[in-house]
Amino acid sequence: MVPTFETLPVQRAAVVLAALLAVGLVWWVDRPAGRWGQQLRRRFVGGVPWGTVVSICFVLAVYLFVQGGLAHWFTPIVIPFTAWSYTYPLGMVTAAFSHSGPNHLVGNLVGTLTYAPLVEYAWGHYPRNRGSTSFSSWRTNPYVRAFVLFPVAVVVVGFATAFFGLGPVIGFSGVVFAFAGFALVYYPLGTVLALVAGQVIRLVYGAFLTPISRVSSREVFSTPWFADIALQGHALGFLLGVLLGLWVSERRRDDHPSALRLWTGVLLFSVAQSLWAVYWFRGNGQFILYRAGGLALVTLLATLVTAAVRTDDSRVSAHWDAAGAGRAETLRGSLTRLSRPQVAFLTLLLVTALLAGPGAGVNLLTAADDELDGPTVSVRDYEVTYAENVQNQMVAVANVEAFGETTTVQTSGVIVQSSERNLWITAVSKSQLAFDGSVPVRLGDVGWRETVVATRDGWEVEGNRSVYRVTLRVGDERTPVFASDPIRAEPVLAGQNVSLAADRDGYALVVGNGTQRARAPLPVKNESVTLGGIEFTNEGRKLVARTDDGTVVRVATRETYS
Q: What is the DSSP string of 28-59?
A: HHH--TTHHHHHHHHHSGGG--HHHHHHHHHH
The reply to whether 123 and 173 lie within a common domain is yes
> What pLDDT band is residue 5 in, cutting at 50, 70 and 90?
very low
Considering the chain, what percentage of its residues have pLDDT values greater than 90? Answer: 54
Please determine, for residue 460, whether its predicted confidence score (pLDDT) is greater than 80: yes
Q: What pLDDT sits at residue 23?
A: 86
CA distance 552 to 536: 10
Pairing of strands 410-418, 423-429: antiparallel
pLDDT at 318 over 50: no
Instruction: Look at residue 31 in the predicted model and tell me its pLDDT.
Output: 82
List beta partners, residue 558.
459
Amino acid 458: pLDDT: 95
Residue 95 DSSP label: G
CB 275 within 8 A of CB 234: yes
Letter string b/e over residues 359-377, b meaning 16 or more CB atoms within 10 A of that residue's CB: beebbeebbeeeebeeebb
How sure is the predictor about 272, in pLDDT bands with cuts at 50, 70 and 90? very high
Same-domain status, 424 and 347: no
Q: So what's the pLDDT on residue 118?
A: 95
Helix (H) or strand (E) holding 553: strand 552-558
> Could you tell me which residue, 535 or 15, shows the higher pLDDT?
535
Which residues are CB-neighbours of 259 under 8 A, at least 6 positions away? 306, 310
Asked whether the predicted pLDDT for residue 193 surpasses 90, the reply is yes
Say what the pLDDT of residue 323 is.
Answer: 46
Look at residue 4 and tell me if it is in a domain: no
DSSP 169: B
At 94 the pLDDT is 96
| Dist. CA 461–CA 12, nearest whole Å | 52
> Domain of 494?
485-558
Spatial distance between the Cα atoms of 436 and 349, rounded to a whole number of angstroms: 45
In a domain, 218, yes or no: no
The crossing angle, in degrees rounded to 10, of helices 8-30 and 188-209 is 150
Q: Comparing 407 with 205, which gets the higher pLDDT? A: 205
Cα 226 to Cα 234: distance, rounded to the nearest angstrom: 13
Helix axis angle for 173-186 and 291-310, nearest 10°, is 50
Please tell me whether residues 111 and 43 are part of one structural domain. Answer: yes
Compute the C-alpha angle 259/261/264, nearest 5°. 100
Residues 6+ positions from 104 with CB-CB distance below 8 Å = 171
pLDDT at 411 over 90: no
pLDDT at 316: 47
Is the model's pLDDT at 402 over the cut of 60? Answer: no
The pTM (predicted TM-score) of the whole model is 0.85
Report how far residue 263's alpha carbon sits from residue 143's, in angstroms, rounded to the nearest whole number.
35
Query: Is 5 inside any structural domain?
Result: no
Q: Are residues 471 and 519 in the same domain?
A: no
- With beta carbons less than 8 A apart as the criterion, state whether 427 and 413 touch: yes
430, 412 in Cβ contact below 8 A?
yes
Distance (Å, whole) CA 199 – CA 202: 5
217 located within any domain? no
Q: Where are the beta strands (DSSP E) in 419-531?
A: 423-429, 438-445, 448-461, 466-474, 477-483, 487-488, 497-503, 506-513, 516-521, 528-531
Q: What confidence tier does 317 reach under pLDDT thresholds 50, 70, 90?
A: very low
pLDDT of residue 337: 63
Whether the pLDDT of residue 3 is over 60: the answer is no
Q: Which amino acid is at 399?
A: N
Q: Does 128 reside within a domain?
A: yes
- Model confidence band, residue 188 (pLDDT cutoffs 50, 70, 90): very high
CA distances from 501 to 313, 461, 469, 496, 538 (A): 76, 10, 10, 16, 15
User: What is the overall mean pLDDT for the chain?
Assistant: 86
Please give the pLDDT value at position 168.
84
pLDDT exceeds cutoff 90 at 132: no
Residues 420 and 543 in one domain: no
Determine the average pLDDT of the residues in 53-67: 97
Percentages helix, strand, coil for the chain (3-state, rounded to 5) are: 45, 25, 30
In angstroms, how far is CA 85 from the centroid of its own chain?
Answer: 17
- In a domain, residue 3? The reply is no
Phi and psi (nearest 5°) for 320?
Answer: -125, 135
In this structure, are 352 and 387 located in the same domain? no
State the pLDDT confidence band at 396, using cuts at 50, 70 and 90.
very low
Identify which of 159, 164, 51 has the alpha carbon closest to the alpha carbon of residue 97. 159
Cα separation, 63 vs 100, in Å, equals: 9
Residues 430-450, mean pLDDT to the nearest whole number: 94
Total count of residues recorded for the chain = 562
Helix (H, G, I), strand (E, B) or coil at 377: strand
β-pair partners for 387: 413
Side-chain half-sphere CA neighbours of 506 within 13 A: 8
Is residue 94 one of the residues assigned to a domain?
A: yes
Q: In 3D, which of 337, 336, 335, 345 has the Cα closest to residue 311?
A: 345
Give residues with Cβ within 8 angstroms of 448, minimum separation 6. none
Q: What are phi and psi of 209, to 5 degrees?
A: -70, -50
**Do 54 and 83 belong together in one domain?**
yes
Domain count, the chain: 3
CA nearest to 262, candidates 187, 348, 339: 187
Please state whether 521 falls in left (phi above 0), alpha (psi between -120 and 50) or beta. Answer: beta
Q: Do 360 and 402 lie in a common domain?
A: no
State the helix-helix crossing angle for 259-272 and 173-186, rounded to 10 degrees.
160
Query: Do residues 543 and 528 make contact, with C-beta atoms less than 8 angstroms apart?
Result: no
Question: Is residue 96 one of the residues assigned to a domain?
Answer: yes
Same domain, yes or no, for 490 and 473?
no
Alpha helices by DSSP H, 62-149: 89-94, 102-123, 142-144
- Do 394 and 536 lie in one domain? The reply is no
Are residues 358 and 234 both part of a single domain?
A: yes
- Which pLDDT belongs to residue 336? 54
Task: Looking at the structure, tell me whether residues 454 and 509 fall in a common domain.
Answer: no
Q: How far apart are CA 189 and CA 285, in angstroms?
A: 38
Which pLDDT score is estimated for 322? 45
Q: Which of 86, 171, 102, 71 is closest to 444 using CA atoms?
A: 71
- pLDDT for 130: 66
The span from the CA of 539 to the CA of 76, in Å, is 41
- Encode pLDDT of 91-113 as tens digits: 999 999 999 999 999 999 999 99
Hey, what amino acid is at 8? L
